[in-house]
Amino acid sequence: MQQSKHSPGFKNSLVPVLALVFLSPAFLSCGYVGPSNPGAYTSSTSSSSGSSGYSNPPTFSEINSQIIQPNCLVCHSSGTYTFTTYDTLIAGGVVKSGSPSTSTLYLDVSSGKMPQGGTPLSTTDVNAIDNWISAGALR
């Protein structure tokens, strides 16, 4: 009687031990993910085009080819808000040079209102428009 009771109890006690053995390497390796890339933020001070894909400040050519053409021209190729060229974009009144906070171009993409019904722009693209307008919205 004593022997037949002991055997299953011994088997059950192995379960948590095995679980610990299999889980502990995964747990330990997680602890080392954080400090593995200590220089991650140093590139933000770089002055010309870095990992963002834009110059600092971005050029209109970059804003046009990387943001407006792929995301906006499907709807903004005619009418009051025609974004096909620098001149028509500026003529639409949506860019106040030097002032992103009063430029509907910036306000609409940062709020997600534009592109209408589409995926909002990435933070990198929104920041590029912000920097382009801040720096004077140069041609």
Positions that interact with ligand HEC (CB under 6 A): 67, 71-72, 74-76, 79-81, 94, 104-105, 108-109, 113-118, 121
Least distance to ligand HEC, CB of residue 136, Å: 18
> Which sign, positive or negative, has the C-alpha torsion 53, 96, 139, 111?
positive
Q: Name which of 43 and 112 has its Cβ closer to ligand HEC.
A: 112
Q: Please give the DSSP secondary-structure letter assigned to residue 58.
A: P
Phi, psi of 103 (to 5 degrees): -100, 115
CB of 110 to ligand HEC, least distance (A): 10
Nearest distance in Å: CB 99, ligand HEC: 14
